[in-house]
Amino acid sequence: MTLEIIFDEEQRAFAPGKNISGRMRWRFETIPQWIELRLFWFTEGKGTQDLSVVEKQRITDCPMSGERPFSFVAPAHPPSCSGKLVSIRWALEMVSDVQEQVPCIHIIIAPNAEELVLGTAE
């Protein structure tokens, strides 16, 4: 079984409103009922972890192997940020009904396509 998320460009940092695009590629040993690509954010650090799937693209009636394009628009909120107690991270993950392993790629979504660092004064 092989699952891949391939970006159109090498870029992994995006300003809000910018296009996040590429291709999903897969090869299974059995035919999946569905494959889904999810754009989500999550928190890391102290306290309870929060997670929110912002958008997803689902493919049904999938062949055992194939490739499909994907495209998301980078949301404005929440921005990627790092702090001493908590950080907010964005990622893309590809899941299906027949897999155990989930490919996940971390990206940055923030103004100027740069992660915000909390607790610093300029």
Residue 48's pLDDT band (cuts 50, 70, 90): confident
Q: Tokens for 43?
A: 């928190």
Decide if 54 is inside a domain. yes
- Domain of residue 69, CATH code: 2.60.40.640
Report the alpha-carbon distance of residue 93 to residue 39 in Å, rounded: 7
* pLDDT single digits (tens) 86-100: 999 999 999 999 877
Q: Tokens for 63?
A: 């062949």
Q: Tokens for 62?
A: 């999938």
Decide if 120 is inside a domain. no
Contact 2, 99 (CB under 8 A): no
Per the structure, how many domains does the chain have? 1
Report the alpha-carbon distance of residue 11 to residue 118 in Å, rounded: 23
* pLDDT single digits (tens) 7-30: 998 889 999 999 999 999 999 998
Full domain range(s) for residue 14: 2-114
